[in-house]
């Protein structure tokens, strides 16, 4: 041991929490050395699978001739529903309505009916096109816009939220507006499509490398399809090339088919969808038809609202129930509604079953809230920002009554007033509002618009049992640390943040912590990496595991040196034991020599949350994340084309674990939300065929679509109201609805052609065509 003094203020570990080390795979991403599922070296004899897809939207299968498929070059086998050894079912809802392969009936165009196994991927895909299938077509429901919400079939039980007496409040309100809004869906368009590589083992065992956000759910679904216990199936994923919710449940089908084929043929099998197949056969963000009825006073204070959120669920339940629930949870956004009634309607359609997408229904609910704000603002002739601020929840620390949500949870941490006030000043909202009015007055064709919109996003799974996580931490005798947890890495930096937490706990440099692949063989019963809870849950679980080992080391050092426990202090890369210091790795070595356990399994469950769906009340969220965006656009009123001139964002991440990672999440979330609300349009024809199924027909935002001026900042004063991991806040989903600022800036620009006297009621996505139609509609109304 060496004796010396330490300067704790001047010395820190490299890469602990509240620092900004680079993403652990950043250099691998840009050099192409990051290993994704399709990069794994294939075992000798690996076979490849291709899907046979339905070419009708709804019908029964009268006959299916696969002889030409089986005789095609390279084909080894063809799987149909009858070849599934276990249960032909991958429904995450438990409603038994989502088959691995269609059996006798198809319910959407593009539904997988059979699976070809061949020597090469090309051979499998070519062979799949040779099938001769005859259908008896049945009537198909494609869109929900003209559907009777009250009588149409729903795929699962809807939710109703109510507080107060909305009907009476609406009837007695001095002012009242009703309307309807169409809100489009969105394809995940992850860089890496759905892919699984299954390797058969002895007995019933199978290892599946799968691009999945929910390894445990995929494990259980594969086990059900194989008819084996879950312990026989191991799912592993080191990283995904994007997920955005699209790999929470949708990865299960490819994994199950690859595993079934691998076990049947006793050879490794890979199934990788190409972009067209992926877009045709996998679910998307739900599109909505939002009906609203709002009552308010002459000042613009909302007195009561009534909402119906009808969503296109698709042919099966999937996650449409909880997505609709979360839309209702966020139909208030940052606003207090004294009286509210809101209901969901997850409607059956003969389209692919829609699923989780970043925000999980929350952004759709917020769109409804912001449309109501716009309606009120135009009705009373005020700036929408003024109406927003007038209707905010009470600020944190204010002893008021305007702080109860439609689901009866008290909002105790509201900081939206401060965030909006700071952004309003830093973005010079008032000055630019005046300048834009002067510009528009002198510009007959190009009109500018400005909007500042808030975000209040609830953090937790509304499925209570999902709010838990496990982790496994090993400390080796050389002082290096192996970390594993149940979360998955899809580019968002989760593994890095959890590694930072472990490094901070042991006070060792980040490069001493090994980040490993997520696998169900190490950490069981994991929750999907979703609901923005990855770092919250897994960071806490890893911290618990590290603290168990740390406590053992402290006990060992205290006992060995006959000193109180509080005289054992972890310093950067060493430990002070009384008046002496010892290197961390030396203490670990000594502990091992004295048979001290250097491995621990950690666990965490989110406290306080509870939810009674039948009653529509509870403490659904552990805390809220807040943010605001201010966007300015220029619109050509002759063509509808537009550009985003500038966006300023101030977002709340609490005491950020990694500000660089979080800023990247805010930037990406905003751009993805902007894309959803402006350019990304899903379009099915009247036969149920998705016509926007490739980059040539589906427009995600390009680098050139980003705001010309893009200022993003995180609050430097906020911290989580609850004791989250190091008082940080979730950042995965909350930034996406910041894109609402662009939609409402476009609405503001369109409204200028009618001197802001008429609410444009601009639907989304606000494509140039839709913007032009809104302009022409307002011009016609003014002319009358």
Annotated active-site positions, please? 733
Phi, psi of 373 (to 5 degrees): -60, -45
494-498, long-range: CB within 8 Å, 24+ apart, which pairs?
494/529, 494/534, 494/535, 494/538, 495/24, 496/21, 496/23, 496/24, 496/658, 496/661, 497/535, 497/539, 497/657, 497/658, 497/661, 498/471, 498/535, 498/538, 498/539, 498/542
Do 195 and 272 form a contact (C-beta atoms < 8 A)?
yes
Name the token pair of 274: 């190409």
582-587, long-range: CB within 8 Å, 24+ apart, which pairs?
582/1, 582/557, 583/479, 584/479, 584/506, 584/507, 584/508, 585/477, 585/478, 585/479, 585/480, 586/479, 587/553, 587/556, 587/557
Cα gap 658→677, rounded to integer Å: 29
User: Per-residue DSSP letters for 250-289?
Assistant: THHHHHHHHHHHHHHHTS-EEEE--HHHHHHHS--BPPEE
Cα gap 419→652, rounded to integer Å: 8
Do 445 and 642 form a contact (C-beta atoms < 8 A)?
no
The three-state secondary structure class of 50 is strand
Name the token pair of 662: 């979080």
Neighbours of 497 (CB within 10 A): 29
Query: Are β-strands 481-485 and 513-515 bridged in parallel, bridged antiparallel, or unpaired?
Result: parallel
Phi, psi of 751 (to 5 degrees): -60, -25
373 sits in which H/E element: helix 362-380
Length of the chain: 784
Name the token pair of 743: 């939609």
User: Per-residue DSSP letters for 697-730?
Assistant: TS-PPPGGGS-SEEEEEE-SS---SS--GGGB--
Quick one: CA torsion of 91, 93, 94, 96, rounded to 10 degrees?
-50
Do 329 and 307 form a contact (C-beta atoms < 8 A)?
no
Neighbours of 95 (CB within 10 A): 14
Name the token pair of 559: 């006992």
Among 352, 223, 341, residue whose Cα is nearest residue 282: 352
CA distances from 516 to 478, 504, 521, 673, 779 (A): 18, 18, 13, 31, 60
Cα gap 495→516, rounded to integer Å: 8
Name the token pair of 713: 């900042």
Question: Rounded to an integer, what is the distance from CA 552 to the centroid of its chain?
Answer: 38
* Helix-helix angle 584-593:534-561, to 10 degrees: 70
Cα end-to-end distance, the chain, whole Å:
90
* Neighbour-count burial for 10-33, b at 16+ CB within 10 Å, e otherwise: eeebebbbebebebbbbeeeeeee
User: Tokens 């309003």 identify what position?
Assistant: 424
Angle CA(652)–CA(653)–CA(654) in degrees, nearest 5?
95
CA distances from 677 to 74, 742, 762 (A): 45, 8, 10
Which stretches does DSSP call E strand in 641-687? 642-651
Cα gap 181→770, rounded to integer Å: 13
Angle CA(356)–CA(358)–CA(360) in degrees, nearest 5?
50
């Amino acid at each position: 041991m060496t004796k010396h003094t330490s300067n704790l203020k001047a010395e820190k570990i490299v890469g602990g929490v509240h620092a900004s080390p680079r993403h652990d795979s950043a250099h691998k991403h840009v050099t192409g050395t990051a290993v994704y599922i399709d990069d794994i070296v294939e075992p000798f004899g690996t076979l490849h699978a291709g899907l046979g897809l339905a070419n009708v939207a709804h019908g029964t299968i009268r006959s299916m001739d696969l002889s030409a498929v089986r005789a095609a070059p390279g084909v080894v086998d063809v799987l149909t529903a009858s070849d599934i050894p276990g249960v032909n079912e991958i429904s995450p809802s438990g409603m038994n309505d989502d088959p691995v392969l269609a059996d006798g009936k198809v319910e959407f165009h593009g539904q997988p009916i059979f699976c070809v196994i061949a020597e090469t991927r090309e051979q499998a895909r070519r062979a799949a096109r040779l099938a001769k299938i005859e259908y008896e077509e049945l009537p198909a429901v494609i869109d929900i816009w003209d559907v009777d919400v009250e009588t149409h079939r729903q795929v699962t039980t809807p939710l109703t939220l109510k507080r107060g007496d909305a009907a009476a409040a609406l009837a007695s309100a001095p002012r009242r507006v009703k309307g309807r809004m169409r809100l489009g869906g969105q394809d995940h368009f992850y860089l890496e499509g759905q892919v699984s590589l299954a390797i058969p083992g002895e007995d019933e065992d199978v290892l599946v490398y799968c691009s999945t956000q929910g390894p445990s759910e995929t494990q259980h679904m594969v086990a059900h399809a194989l008819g084996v216990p879950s312990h026989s199936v191991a799912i592993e994923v080191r990283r995904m090339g994007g997920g955005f919710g699209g790999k929470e449940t949708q990865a299960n089908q490819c994994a199950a088919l690859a595993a079934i084929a691998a076990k049947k043929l006793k050879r490794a099998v890979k199934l990788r969808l190409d972009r067209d197949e992926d877009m045709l056969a996998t679910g998307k963000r739900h599109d909505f038809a939002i009906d609203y009825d709002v009552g308010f006073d002459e000042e613009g204070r909302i007195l009561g609202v009534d909402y119906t959120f009808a969503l296109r669920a698709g042919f099966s339940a999937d996650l449409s129930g909880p997505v609709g629930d979360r839309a209702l949870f966020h139909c208030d956004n940052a606003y207090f509604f004294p009286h509210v009634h809101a209901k969901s309607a997850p409607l059956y359609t003969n389209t692919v079953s829609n699923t989780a997408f970043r925000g999980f229904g929350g952004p759709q609910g917020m769109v409804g809230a912001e449309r109501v704000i716009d309606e009120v603002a135009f009705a009373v002739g005020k700036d929408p920002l003024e109406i927003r601020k007038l209707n905010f929840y009470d600020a944190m620390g204010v002893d008021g009554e305007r702080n109860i949500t439609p689901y009866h949870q008290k909002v105790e941490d509201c900081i939206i007033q401060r965030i909006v006030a700071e952004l309003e000043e830093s973005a010079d909202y008032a000055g630019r509002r005046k300048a834009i009015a002067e510009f528009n007055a002198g510009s007959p064709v190009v009109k500018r618009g400005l909007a500042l919109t808030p975000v209040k996003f609830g953090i937790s799974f509304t499925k209570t049992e999902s709010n838990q996580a496990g982790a496994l931490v090993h400390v080796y005798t050389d002082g290096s640390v192996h970390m594993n947890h149940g979360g998955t890495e899809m580019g968002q930096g989760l593994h890095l943040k959890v590694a930072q937490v472990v490094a901070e706990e042991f006070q060792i440099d980040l490069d001493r912590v090994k980040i490993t692949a997520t696998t169900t063989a190490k950490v069981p019963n994991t929750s999907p990496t979703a609901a923005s809870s990855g770092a919250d849950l897994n960071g806490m679980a890893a911290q618990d595991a590290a603290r168990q080992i740390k406590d053992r080391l402290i006990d060992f050092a205290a006992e060995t040196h006959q000193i109180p426990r509080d005289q054992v202090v972890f310093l950067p890369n060493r430990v002070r034991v009384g008046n002496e210091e010892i290197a961390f790795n030396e203490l670990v070595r000594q502990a091992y020599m004295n048979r001290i356990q250097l491995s621990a399994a950690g666990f965490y469950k989110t406290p306080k949350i509870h939810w009674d769906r039948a009653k529509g009340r509870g403490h659904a969220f552990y805390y809220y994340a807040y943010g605001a965006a201010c966007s300015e656009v220029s619109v050509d009123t002759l063509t509808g084309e537009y550009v985003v001139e500038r966006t300023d964002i101030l977002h709340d991440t609490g005491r950020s674990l990694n500000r660089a990672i979080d800023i990247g999440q805010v930037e990406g979330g905003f751009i993805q939300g902007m894309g959803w609300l402006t350019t990304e349009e899903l379009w099915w024809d009247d036969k149920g065929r998705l016509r926007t199924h490739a980059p040539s027909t589906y427009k995600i935002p390009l680098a050139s679509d980003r705001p010309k001026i893009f200022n993003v900042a995180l609050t430097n004063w906020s911290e989580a109201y609850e004791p989250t991991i190091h008082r940080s806040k979730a950042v995965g989903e909350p930034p996406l609805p910041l894109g609402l600022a662009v939609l409402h800036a476009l609405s503001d620009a369109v409204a200028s052609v009618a001197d802001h006297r008429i609410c444009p009621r601009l639907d989304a996505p606000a494509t140039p065509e839709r913007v032009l139609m809104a302009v022409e509609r307002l011009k016609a109304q003014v002319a009358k």
